[in-house]
Structure 1
Amino acid sequence: MARASSSVREQPARAEPAHIVPFGKQLKCLQKFQEYKTVEALVTLLTDQPEEVLINVIGALGECCQEQENRGTIRRCGGIAPMVKLLSATNRALLVNVNKAVGGCAMEPENMAVIDSLDGVRLLWSLLKNPNPDVQASAAWALCPCVENAKNSGEMVRSLVGGLELIVNLLKSKDKEVLTSVCAAIANIAKDQENLAVMTDHGVVPLLSKLANTNNNKLRRHLAEAIAHCCMWGSNRVAFGEARAVAPLARYLKSKDPLVHRATALALYQLSEDPNNCVIMHENGVVKLLLAMVGSTDDALQEAAAGCIANIRRLALATEKAKYG
């Protein structure tokens, strides 16, 4: 196997592509890989190979398993077990590539069942303790599809002793990619009420709120999603308002990124169930910005924007009625 350049191996998690390959060419490449049974050949190289070879092999599989058909092929030819075994490695570049590959495989529920049976989720979770931020971030990203596609994800997460406290504490990280990936993972975990209650006890609300003043659109998107889901427990909506998270979120609506708009509208809709938050939103010009989004072709954005405006308007009418009778 050809030896990869050291620059590729040194920064697998942060490297940006030199150019974008046109979609048609991507399909042709995928078809050729399938025709030559490339994935099957790569899987045979997952065992009894030098570390340098493994880094490249698992890196290639991580790219291949972004395609649904290849994810199935990896499972059928027994590739998941050796992948999961590599989660116990110590090499940073290898771990980053393995995390991506396992996370890609977990996008299929059938694959996720195999990963879970091999204790893969626990191994991924343990990598959140790794001192390297690239490893932490790639592990958190991999956990997102694991939580989303596990048969009983709530119970699976609860079985990891200290796991929820660990992931909440990662919100204190100084690394933007770690923060973004952890917010994405928390958004998925918070869909389970019991786990959300535990994360709330560990201080997830004030920690998320402290991140609100960011200009990073990727972090904004996943932070807003996490806030939206974390609103669903107890007095968390009120707590986000008291922690001054609402005004910064309102400014996200001025972003150019439509994915940020959707996540922010969902968060603001949940937060608008609290009257004090509605007042803050109104003062920060949310209504005008949301009105423009009510006509969006994105149903989720449209409904969240309309729901938030309705809550703000309902409060305004109630205030007028109380004032003037």
Structure 2
Amino acid sequence: MAELSSLESRLAVEQLVSLLGNQPEEVLVNVVGALGECASRYADSRVVIRKVGGVAPLVQLLTGTNQPLLINTTNAVGACALDQESMAVIDKQDGVRLLWSLLKSPNDDVQACAAWAICPCIENAKDAGELVRSFVGGLELIVGLLKSPDHEALASVCAAIAKIAKNEENLGVITDHGVVPLLAKLTHTTDDHLRRHLADAMARCCTWRNNRVAFGEAEAVAPLVSYLKSPDLDVHRSTACALHQLSKDPDNCITMHEAAVVKCLLPMVGSTDFVLQEAAAGCISNIRHLALANEKEKFM
């Protein structure tokens, strides 16, 4: 999309919103696709869409059956949800429930787009924890999608689980539904896009009771170490965060040490990315503390 001036962009978005009315579906596919592109790239466009009344008709399109239109609409609604005031409109229009219902779609692309759209909705909802719990069977449904054969669907579901797991009560529920073994089964993937969001989800899930121990018992720790050899900085960051959480269990520290994690993490301690730097240092520190404790015990 060519760069437009602020005025041109506003006028274009207003014109596109005006076309959300009684139009053939083949026209709506392109109109909604363009709105989604504008909303995802420009914060000003999200504001314009909301101010000219475009959020509600977009949400209403989530009730359709046209697959390309649903894909573009979920993308557009998800982009609008990045704006907190637009999120309030989405919530009022029951948009999150509609997105959640699309997770049942037989189309992998619709499932994936719906899960991606749910992420900013959870992030910006007024009471995200309660909102998510209000969908009967919703948490069980999203955990079940970790069995999907589609990598994009899996990445989007992992991203959504990472958001859901920020709420302690919801984390407890998805743990009861078996999120840990299902995430653990995915750790052998070589897809960096999936690796990034999988590691994020694992890091979040580690904070509930003995989940970090359960990940170790499911042999999910050693495969994570190989992620640090990826050229992708985002994968490094999320993986280091997951390893830091997992390293709070002594048995996991032993597994990491045997997988030569320290050699991989040491250069990352000097990273300009503060989150990566801190997580790498924290993981190494936990491994070192365990080693020192063992050394001390030998001489007692």
Q: What TM-score do the two structures reach when normalised by structure 1?
A: 0.91
* Counterpart residue number, 2:218: 243
Aligned pair partner of 1:160 in 135, 144, 147: 135
CA distance in 1, matches of 2:289, 2:9: 57
Aligned pair partner of 1:142 in 103, 117, 138: 117
Q: Per-residue deviation at 1:31? A: 3.6
Supply the AA of the counterpart residue of 2:170.
Answer: N
Supply the AA of the counterpart residue of 2:201.
Answer: A
Aligned pair partner of 1:196 in 148, 166, 171: 171
* Counterpart residue number, 1:60: 34
* Counterpart residue number, 2:261: 286
Aligned pair partner of 1:79 in 49, 54, 57: 54
* Counterpart residue number, 1:266: 241
Matches within 5 A, 1:11-90: 26=2, 28-29=3-4, 31=6, 33-34=8-9, 37-66=11-40, 67-90=42-65
Q: Per-residue deviation at 1:59? A: 0.5
Q: Per-residue deviation at 1:187? A: 0.4
Q: Per-residue deviation at 1:251? A: 0.6
Q: Per-residue deviation at 1:323? A: 1.4
* Counterpart residue number, 1:302: 277
Q: Tell me the secondary structure at the aligned position of residue 113 of structure 2.
A: helix
* Counterpart residue number, 1:4: none
* Counterpart residue number, 2:231: 256
The CA deviation string for residues 50-93 of structure 1, in whole angstroms up to 9 with x for no partner, is 11111110000000102100000000000001000000010000
CA distance in 2, matches of 1:138, 1:108: 18
Q: Per-residue deviation at 1:32? A: 6.2
Q: Per-residue deviation at 1:30? A: 5.2
CA distance in 2, matches of 1:86, 1:230: 34
* Counterpart residue number, 2:106: 131
CA distance in 2, matches of 1:32, 1:228: 43
Q: Tell me the secondary structure at the aligned position of residue 4 of structure 2.
A: helix
Supply the AA of the counterpart residue of 2:88.
Answer: A
CA distance in 1, matches of 2:218, 2:251: 12
CA distance in 2, matches of 1:30, 1:194: 46
Supply the AA of the counterpart residue of 1:53.
Answer: V
CA distance in 2, matches of 1:173, 1:167: 10
CA distance in 2, matches of 1:89, 1:156: 23
Note closer, same or farther for the CA distance 1:30–1:218 as it changes in structure 2 (3 Å cut).
farther
* Counterpart residue number, 1:11: none
CA distance in 1, matches of 2:194, 2:240: 15
* Counterpart residue number, 2:72: 97
Query: RMSD of the alignment, in Å?
Result: 1.0
Equivalenced residues, count: 299
* Counterpart residue number, 1:16: none
The CA deviation string for residues 258-314 of structure 1, in whole angstroms up to 9 with x for no partner, is 000000000000000000000000000111111100000110000000000000000
Q: Percentage identity across aligned positions?
A: 66
**Structure 1: 5+ residue runs without aligned partners?**
1-20
CA distance in 1, matches of 2:5, 2:119: 25
Q: Per-residue deviation at 1:34? A: 2.0
CA distance in 1, matches of 2:76, 2:91: 15
Q: What TM-score do the two structures reach when normalised by structure 2?
A: 0.98
Q: Per-residue deviation at 1:324? A: 1.9
Determine whether 1:183 maps to 2:158. Answer: yes
**Structure 2: 5+ residue runs without aligned partners?**
none
Q: Per-residue deviation at 1:29? A: 2.6
The CA deviation string for residues 207-239 of structure 1, in whole angstroms up to 9 with x for no partner, is 000000011000000000000000010100000
CA distance in 2, matches of 1:250, 1:30: 46
